[in-house]
Amino acid sequence: MRIAVLGTGSGGRAHAARLLQLGHRVVVGTRDSQVTLGRTEPDFMGIEPFGQWLADYPGIELMTFGEAAAEADLAINGIDGANAVRVLGGIADQLAGKTLMDYAVPFVYNPERAHPWPTPWGVMPALDPVDSDSLGERIQRALPDTKVVKACVTQEQETAVDPGSVGGGDHTIFIAGEHADAKAQVTALLRSYGWRDVLDLGPLVSSRGMEMYTHMHSAIQFALGGARFGIKVVR
């Protein structure tokens, strides 16, 4: 399949690398390829420049968001929550009729929200929207001709693309969306990643719970001292 990963952060890289390994044609979208490739220093999180990373994955192509979306049969949103609706809305035509898997979380970094535990970002992020709306629903409203499937929100993307690396893969991944065919497509993709327990949480309103779970995820991460874990629905 031709798959576009929109965004060049660590989550997008995890999907791109795994999809390449699985034999897909992978294109990565960014705002401006020259700017992205021109970076030579790690970002504020210490993540290596995209160009350096890309050198290890011959076959992955970098292009603009619109070009990448136009190329793809299926797209994955890896654009940060604060910018996703605006950027995706700008390439609505190129995404029309396609499935968009969205794992983004609408974090807002408020430096006044100090977290009592040390965190990678120093403060406890807020969510906007929260409770009465979700980023997944906002993206779907901005892209009415695209089939949005919320997925992979409850894991780090590094473990979402390789569930077998945690507890032998015996944990649960969740999906939600309004389009059964798109959910079947995303389920097949997740199974190819190694997921055995893909739980359909129904309509896209369930994005709220998935996004709101991220505070629990952070708390568990701080308690365990690392993010290599998953959650399993035991029933």
CB of 118 to a copy of itself, least distance (A): 11
| Smaller CB separation from a copy of itself, 96 or 180 | 180
Residue 85 beta carbon to a copy of itself: minimum distance, rounded to whole angstroms: 19
Shorter beta-carbon distance to a copy of itself: residue 37 or 231? 231
Q: Which is nearer to a copy of itself, 49 or 209 (CB)?
A: 209
Would you list the DSSP string of 72-121? -SEEEE-S-TTTHHHHHHTTHHHHTTSEEEE----EE--TT-B-SS--TT
Closest C-alpha among 161, 175, 156, 228 to residue 22: 161
Name the minimum Å distance from CB 174 to a copy of itself.
Answer: 8
| Of 71 and 211, CB closest to a copy of itself | 211
Q: Cβ 203 to a copy of itself, closest distance in Å?
A: 5
Task: Provide, rounded to whole angstroms, the least separation between the CB of residue 224 and a copy of itself.
Answer: 6
Specify which residues 61 forms β-bridges with.
Answer: 27
How far is Cα 185 from Cα 76, in angstroms, rounded to an integer? 12
Which of these, 190, 181, 196, 193, lies nearest to 147 by C-alpha position? Answer: 181
Report the amino acid identity of residue 224: L
Output 98 or 171, the one with its CB closest to a copy of itself. Answer: 171
Start-to-end Cα distance in the chain: 34
Q: How many CB atoms lie within 10 A of CB 45?
A: 9
Q: Nearest approach, Cβ of 73 to a copy of itself (angstroms)? A: 27
Q: Which residues contact a copy of itself by CB under 8 A?
A: 113, 115-117, 124, 126-127, 130-132, 154, 166-167, 170-171, 174, 176, 199-203, 205-206, 208-210, 212-220, 222-224, 228-235
Question: 72 φ, ψ to 5°?
Answer: -95, 150
In whole angstroms, what is the distance from residue 197 CA to residue 199 CA? 6
Nearest CA among 38, 57, 44 for reference residue 9: 44
DSSP of 165-210, one letter per residue?
Answer: GTGGG-SEEEEEES-HHHHHHHHHHHHHHT-SEEEE--SGGGHHHH
Which one, 194 or 209, has the nearer CB to a copy of itself? 209
Length of the chain counted residue by residue: 235
CB 78 → a copy of itself: shortest distance, Å? Answer: 22
Indicate the residue among 37 and 201 with the shorter CB distance to a copy of itself.
201
